[in-house]
């Protein structure tokens, strides 16, 4: 530990709090949000403060109307805060993309350690089309510790067959079975309506 880091841990009222309390602060500051990302918000690296939108994952009534959207800059405060908090950005949030290009660019912008931490993503329809035809790696190959995949409902709409009933149930079931078989691992699969401004080419 450097001299300045040691001094911060002694002098700072925040860093003098018990570790379990600091962890709760980091989690509520950095986690439990849906982060919308578009390819035009990405450059060489992911500018997390310039995403398309950030909104709480919990029901609206759970948060005050004055909620301030996070810019995820807390880990920049000091080395100790970075070490203790930075992982929560990837383990506690859901990342949603408006098209395949955005997801591809975002994955390339992450360091290997960051990719390993990603737990939840909402995948656009055009990405799933490439994934189904073997043009994209498995999700487990990209994100070793993935816990949840959100699939755009357009995938089920375009996957309906003549013999299916009026609902999307059979098409959704087939898609879930295909994903789990391809991944060889069980994780949570949910459905979403697609990001605002999403480009659908299925």
| Tens-digit pLDDT profile for residues 120-143 | 999 999 999 999 999 999 999 999
Residue 121 structure tokens: 């993503």
Q: Which residues pair with 28 in a beta bridge?
A: none
User: What integer is the mean pLDDT of 98-123?
Assistant: 92
How far separated are the first and last CA of the chain, in Å rounded? 52
Backbone angles phi, psi at 30, to 5 degrees: -110, -15
- For residue 41, the model assigns a pLDDT of 56
Using a 10 angstrom Cβ sphere, with 0-12 exposed, 13-18 middle and 19 or more buried, the burial of residue 146 is buried
User: What integer is the mean pLDDT of 90-105?
Assistant: 92
Q: How far is CA 104 from the centre of its chain?
A: 13
Residue 178 has pLDDT above 90, yes or no: yes
Domain ranges of the chain: 3-192
pTM: 0.84
Residue 85 structure tokens: 């908090």
Q: Which residues pair with 121 in a beta bridge?
A: 95, 149
- For residue 149, the model assigns a pLDDT of 96
Residue 112 structure tokens: 């290997």
pLDDT digits (tens, 9 = 90+) for 134-173: 999 999 999 999 999 999 999 999 999 988 888 899 999 9
Short-list 35, 44, 27, 163, CA closest to 86: 27
Q: How confident is the model at residue 4 (pLDDT cuts 50, 70, 90)?
A: low
- For residue 50, the model assigns a pLDDT of 56
Residue 176 has pLDDT above 60, yes or no: yes
95/112 Cα distance (integer angstroms): 17
């Amino acid at each position: 530990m450097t001299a300045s880091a040691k001094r911060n841990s002694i002098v700072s009222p925040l860093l003098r709090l018990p570790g379990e309390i600091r962890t709760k602060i980091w989690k509520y500051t950095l986690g439990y949000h849906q982060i919308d990302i578009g390819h035009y918000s990405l450059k060489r690296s992911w500018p997390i403060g310039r995403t398309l939108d950030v909104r709480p994952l919990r029901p609206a009534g759970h948060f005050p109307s004055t909620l301030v959207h996070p810019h995820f800059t807390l880990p920049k405060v000091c080395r100790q805060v970075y070490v203790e908090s930075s992982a929560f950005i990837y383990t506690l949030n859901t990342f949603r993309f408006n098209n395949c290009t955005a997801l591809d660019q975002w994955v390339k912008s992450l360091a290997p350690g960051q990719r390993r931490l990603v737990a939840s993503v909402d995948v656009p329809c055009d990405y799933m089309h490439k994934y189904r035809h073997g043009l994209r790696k498995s999700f487990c190959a990209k994100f070793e510790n993935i816990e949840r995949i959100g699939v755009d409902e357009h995938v089920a709409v375009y996957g309906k067959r003549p013999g299916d009933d009026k609902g999307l149930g059979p098409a959704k079931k087939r898609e879930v079975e295909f994903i789990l078989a391809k991944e060889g691992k069980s994780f949570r699969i949910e459905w979403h309506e697609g990001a605002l401004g999403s480009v659908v080419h299925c």
